[in-house]
Structure 1
Amino acid sequence: MSRWRDLPPLSMLRAFDATARAGSFAEAGRVLNVTHAAVTQAVRALEGELGVQLVRRAGRTVALTEAGAALARALDEGFGRVEAGIAALREHEARRVVRVTTTTFIAETHIMPRLPGFWAAHPGVEVALSPSPEKLDLAREGFDLAIRALSDGWEETADEEIRPLCRSPVIAVCAPSLLATGLHPQDMPWVMGVDRHLDLAEVAGTGLDPARLRRVEVGSPHLEMSACRQGLGAATATEIICRADLEAGRLVRLPLSGLPVVTYALVLPRGPRRPAVDAFAGWLTAIF
């Protein structure tokens, strides 16, 4: 049974509480940002609802009756506990870590190097990155947002909001030492992880023969770029992941065309969001 069913309307209680605190209808109206007539009417309506006089006029001020003083004490205690409970909830939510799921490569190459800038602008907001190649159910797994690479033709769902961040072409890269061997890309080893197989259709689009490629299995997709930097083989990845390595000369781009373009997007569960989540989502939009 609802505890609200037998209570007077909250607007009446708020008007009386403000009047009891302020000592006048006019001042209570200023506190509530309504006219003093509206406050007077609400208090009189509350008296009618309860069948008892709560205030008496005393010039421009009001005085509480015995019944009014008792109700004022009860409301002060009740509203005080509500206020404390809401403050505690807000404080807990403000301290709660922003949980983000994304790929290892995006976390390592694009987000982690820039995180100090976010923390400088938003001190006290904790962020936990959970690298995973899997597409997770954000609400069920307790994540606040995800950064995903989406194929063309993606659509929003009823449960998730999608905000595109950038479009990045897939490129072929290798270490300068491997390029210096003079091998044609067709004859180079190609690094692969057991959980991510080179898309044969994509490779075929570059003019290479997928059936004749020599593949290097490194056991984990997380090690692919490291193996590529060490010269163990060429690899494909989005330009945004390779950008820092290309600029630093650790990787060079192979002259292969026909690879696709990937849309990186921010994915958020629909529904109310904490200010910390909105702040991090806005920061991500700015850095991509």
Structure 2
Amino acid sequence: MRSKFITGYSSRFRCEDWEASTSACYRRNFSSLFCSERFQFTSNCLVVQWSGDNPNSLAGLTLSNPGDLAISLGTSDTVFGVTDVPEPSLDGNILPNPVDPSTYMVMLCYKNGSLTREDIRDRYAEKSWDVFNNLLEQTDPLNGGKLGFYYKEHEILPPLPVGFHRYIVDTLTSGPLAETKERQKDEFDPPSEVRALIEGQFMSMRGHAERCGLPVPPKRIIATGGASSNQAILKTLASVFGCPVYTVQRPDSASLGAALRA
């Protein structure tokens, strides 16, 4: 069947017809005769160079300038933004910007997102988001030096096994890193546990974003995903990154971005 299909259209699909790769924001050509006959596209329908779902989401969320950052708070968390000085590393992905060929898109993916937040909620906040938010707001930023790294699932960034790691750090404000002293703890009190989780997730995002060349602090953050409706979590996000946070509910940001690009 495959060979018959290829043979049947061999006169229309020839290797020499394919041109060299071009920018994702390049207008390629008009709709082909095949698409017009098979799918009823009009002959004057413009074709824009292809791009992937995540780059199109960047366009759909109107991230256009260095310093723009989007954070999707879902089952897994994803950070992506625009930079003109990328720093390629093993921490994340550097992609061409589908909107502006002079800049780049950075994408960071974390496996431990909402499912890990829900796990800590169930353990320490009576399985209630209201209780969880109240506990979060009972503690001050920096959590009195209490840090936590929570991996309910094997983490992607950084690549680490399952485990919860809690520390009390003497100072988080100033001084040489080599002089910082920490003590490992088995568990915190519930308010400190909740803040350690949320601040730990966002500090990890900030550190990896800066390492990949994203401007820190960013000019603005656009938050999406299920947890973006939680005002207490967004308040902590703004505190950690030091910038305004906006929300937008666009479940179709990838297709919207493709349409905007076209």
Instruction: Report the TM-score range of the alignment, normalised by the length of the smaller protein.
Output: under 0.3
TM-score scaled by structure 1?
A: 0.24
Greater Rg by CA: 1
TM-score scaled by structure 2?
A: 0.26
Q: Which has the higher contact order (CA 8 A, sep 6+)?
A: 2
